[in-house]
Amino acid sequence: MYKVPELQGETQEIAKQKCKLAAETLKGPCITEDTALCFNAMNGLPGPYIKWFQNSLGHDGINKMLEGFGDKSAVALCTFGYCEGPGHEPIIFEGRTNGKIVASRGPGTFGWDGIFQPDGFEQTFAQLDKDVKNSISHRSRALDELKKYFQHKEAEN
């Protein structure tokens, strides 16, 4: 696994830059992934910076950030980038899961899963059975888009 620098900017732009850097480093095709948690009350922040917010503030601190807002809705966003290699423009595939930010529930073993409750469920990502979570997650939806791309590409050949 190669590490690329943490980039700044909008989610899609970060995903494109990350994918280009990885393709140049590998000198070949690659797929990269980036995850964001976007609060509607904050116009999409913290977005791609959620990892830093999570590490600095924890679940309680993130909830405190939203105390002054009536809107606790959020979007979990996963972006895959695919690049054929150096000099090629990356193609972006996004998956979204709508939900809301709640008091932390469930195991705190995976990032912000304990505070994200997807729409239509009473459990947080952390509380959901893995199969259920994987069937509705932002990551699985982005991966489905990536699979469709390769299936279509394969059908053309």
152 annotated to bind ligand: no
Residue keyed to tokens 């705190």: 108
106 annotated to bind ligand: no
Q: Checking DSSP bridges between strand 73-83 and strand 46-47, what pairing results, if any? A: unpaired
Name the nearest CA neighbour of 137 among 116, 107, 122, 152: 116
Within 8 A by CB and 6+ apart from 33, the residues are 78, 79, 80, 81, 139, 142
100 annotated to bind ligand: no
Q: Give percent helix, percent strand, percent coil of the chain, each to the nearest 5.
A: 40, 25, 35
In angstroms, the CA 59 to CA 103 distance is: 8
Q: Checking DSSP bridges between strand 30-39 and strand 73-83, what pairing results, if any? A: antiparallel
CB count within 10 Å of CB 30 equals: 22
87 annotated to bind ligand: no
20 annotated to bind ligand: no
111 annotated to bind ligand: yes
* Annotation: binding site for Mg(2+): 6, 34
* Annotation: binding site for ITP: 18, 34-35, 110-113, 133, 138-139
* Annotation: binding site: 6, 18, 34-35, 110-113, 133, 138-139
